[in-house]
């Protein structure tokens, strides 16, 4: 089922939680709503589900306006951040709940319900926990049961609120791969909310970046990462180094130094530029013809790549990441002079940052 979010606005008192948000989600896609906490992403998810109401705008489910439709009739599955399992019911009863509360004439036979619960528990690979109670389960197990319970009613749309937020790092990684696989198997249109850019980039087909109640950018993970539309997106996705300068005749001028911008180097004037740590080349020594002169402050070379902190002449600290082998070949040590040559610079007009 496709979801169409049209001009949704929502206010809590004087706080504008959502401001004219429009997103189209085609059927079968797995979409991440990504943004810092308090950006309105969970509110949007709850409005799609019908747990909250928008002040303005429409939610279309498969082209039909669902704004007036009750939560019960929207056929959505919702997985809560803290799972919201029914603590006094066994795991099997939790999963069966949605099937058992149906009106009598629509209800399946009890044997069929049991069969389906068993199948769902197998799907989430926890059929051996059927008779346990929620407090006896680990966080990751509870999350999967919450998912099985949501899927039991065969929802047309699956909504997940920070599905991995409450789990520790290792389980989180495992579970999000598993969610991606599950989605590839069952292909239900899914929307999940997260503040973790790594999670959004890894799992989603498309990422919607939200900030202060507004959509900043919608695109594939590659698109939002490589071609951020706004300074916020550039800043929020992964770590970046920020430069303030001027764009003139195809160069970014930073104090007395200039960096060549490639084709389409942006409009002239005051600008901010972003360079990701891994987009620098390091050249030993200072060179008049290219690169920013700097000095190596600190090197952390444990792990697959070397994290290098360098300081520019004016004292500004820049983070650089290069592969450990490359770093060893350069034979550099702390205190050495280097030139920084960015392979890729994203330039925004300075006004865009303030906005």
Partner 1 sequence: MSTSIALHAGSLERAETASTREPAWAKVVLISVALSFFAVFLLLPLGTVFAEALRKGWGAYLEALVNRDAWDAIRLTLITAAIAVPLNLVFGVAAAWSIAKFEFRGKRLLITFIDLPFSVSPVISGLIYVLLFGAQGWFGPWLQEHDIQIIFAVPGIVLATIFVTFPFVARELIPLMEAQGSEEEEAAVVLGASGWQVFWHITLPNIKWGLLYGVILCNARAMGEFGAVSVVSGHIRGQTNTMPLYVEILYNEYNYAAAFAVASLLALLAIVTLALKTLVERQTRRQLQEIAATSESET
Instruction: Report in angstroms the alpha-carbon separations of 49 from 30, 60, 67, 245.
Output: 16, 11, 10, 45
Strand, helix or coil at 253?
A: strand
Q: Taking contact as CB under 8 A, which single stretch among the options 142-150, 204-212, 224-232, 258-266 is the one that binds partner 1?
A: 142-150
Helix (H, G, I), strand (E, B) or coil at 135: helix
| Spatial distance between the Cα atoms of 79 and 85, rounded to a whole number of angstroms | 10
Interface pick for partner 1 out of 57, 98, 266, 290 (rule CB under 8 A)? 98
Closest CA to 282 of 269, 272, 292: 292
Note whether 101 binds partner 1 by CB under 8 A: yes
Q: How far is the CB of 120 from partner 1 (least distance, A)?
A: 13
Q: For residue 297, give both structure tokens.
A: 């402050």
149 counts as binding partner 1 under rule CB under 8 A = yes
Nearest to partner 1 of 97, 286 (CB atom): 97
Of 33, 345, 288, which Cα lies nearest the Cα of 160?
33
Question: Counting contacts by CB under 8 A, is residue 138 touching partner 1?
Answer: yes
Q: How far is the CB of 84 from partner 1 (least distance, A)?
A: 4
Give me the least distance between CB of 155 and partner 1, in Å please. 9
- CA-to-CA dists, residue 327 to 82, 215, 281, 320, 342, angstroms: 44, 39, 10, 11, 16
State the nearest-atom distance from the C-beta of 51 to partner 1, in Å. 6
- x/- contact string, 60-79, with partner 1 (CB under 8 A)? -----------xx---xxx-
Kindly state whether residue 274 participates in binding partner 1, applying the rule CB under 8 A. no
Residues in the interface with partner 1 (CB under 8 A) total: 30
Residue 304 in the binding site for partner 1 (CB under 8 A): no
CB of 27 to partner 1, least distance (A): 20
State phi, psi for 248 to the nearest 5 degrees.
-145, 140
Nearer to partner 1, 165 or 293 (CB): 165
Q: Which stretch binds partner 1 (CB under 8 A): 115-123, 146-154, 217-225, 300-308?
A: 146-154
Instruction: Tell whether residue 83 is a contact of partner 1 (CB under 8 A).
Output: yes
Q: Any contact of residue 82 with partner 1 (CB under 8 A)?
A: yes
Residue 132 three-state SS = coil
Distance CA 348, CA 36 (A): 21
Whether 67 and 58 have beta carbons less than 8 Å apart is answered as yes
135 binds partner 1 (CB under 8 A): yes
Q: Which is nearer to partner 1, 51 or 283 (CB)?
A: 51
Q: Sheet of 15-25: strands edge to edge? A: 15-25, 3-12, 56-61, 64-65
The binder of partner 1 chosen from 56, 102, 115, 287 (CB under 8 A): 102
Instruction: Say which residues have a Cβ less than 8 Å from residue 247's Cβ, sequence separation at least 6.
Output: 253, 261, 265, 266, 267, 268, 269, 271, 347
Minimum separation from the CB atom of position 31 to partner 1 (A): 19
By CB under 8 A, name the binding residues for partner 1: 49, 51, 71-72, 76-78, 80, 82-88, 97-98, 101-102, 134-135, 138-139, 142, 146, 149-150, 152-153, 166
């Amino acid at each position: 089922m496709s979801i169409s979010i049209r001009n949704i606005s929502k206010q809590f008192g004087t706080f504008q939680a959502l401001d004219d948000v429009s997103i189209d989600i085609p059927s079968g896609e797995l979409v991440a709503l990504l943004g810092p906490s308090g950006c309105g992403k969970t509110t949007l998810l709850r409005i799609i589900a019908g747990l909250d109401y928008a002040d303005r705008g429409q939610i279309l489910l498969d082209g039909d306006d669902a704004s007036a439709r009750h939560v019960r009739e929207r056929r959505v599955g919702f997985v809560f951040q803290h799972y919201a399992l029914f603590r006094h019911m066994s795991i099997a009863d939790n999963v069966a709940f949605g099937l058992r509360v149906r009106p009598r004439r629509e209800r399946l036979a009890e044997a069929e319900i049991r069969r389906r619960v068993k199948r769902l528990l197998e799907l989430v690979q926890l059929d051996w926990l059927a008779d346990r109670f929620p407090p006896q389960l680990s966080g990751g197990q509870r999350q999967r049961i919450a998912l099985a319970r949501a899927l039991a009613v065969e929802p047309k749309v699956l909504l997940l609120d920070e599905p991995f937020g409450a789990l520790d790092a290792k389980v989180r990684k495992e579970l999000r791969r598993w969610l991606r696989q599950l989605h590839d198997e069952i292909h239900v249109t899914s929307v999940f909310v997260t503040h973790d850019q790594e999670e959004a980039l890894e799992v989603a087909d498309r990422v919607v970046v939200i900030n202060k109640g507004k959509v900043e950018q919608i695109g594939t993970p590659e698109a939002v990462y490589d071609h951020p539309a706004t300074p916020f997106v550039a800043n929020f996705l992964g770590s970046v180094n920020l430069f303030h300068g001027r764009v003139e005749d195809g160069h970014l001028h930073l104090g007395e130094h200039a960096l060549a911008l490639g084709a389409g180097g942006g409009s002239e004037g005051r600008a901010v530029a972003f360079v990701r740590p891994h987009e620098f080349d390091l050249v030993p020594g200072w060179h008049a013809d290219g690169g920013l002169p700097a000095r190596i402050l600190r090197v952390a070379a444990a792990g697959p790549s070397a994290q290098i902190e360098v300081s520019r002449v004016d004292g500004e600290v820049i983070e650089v990441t290069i592969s450990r082998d490359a770093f060893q070949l350069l034979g550099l040590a702390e205190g050495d002079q280097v030139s920084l040559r960015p392979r890729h610079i994203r330039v925004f007009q300075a006004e865009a940052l303030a906005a």
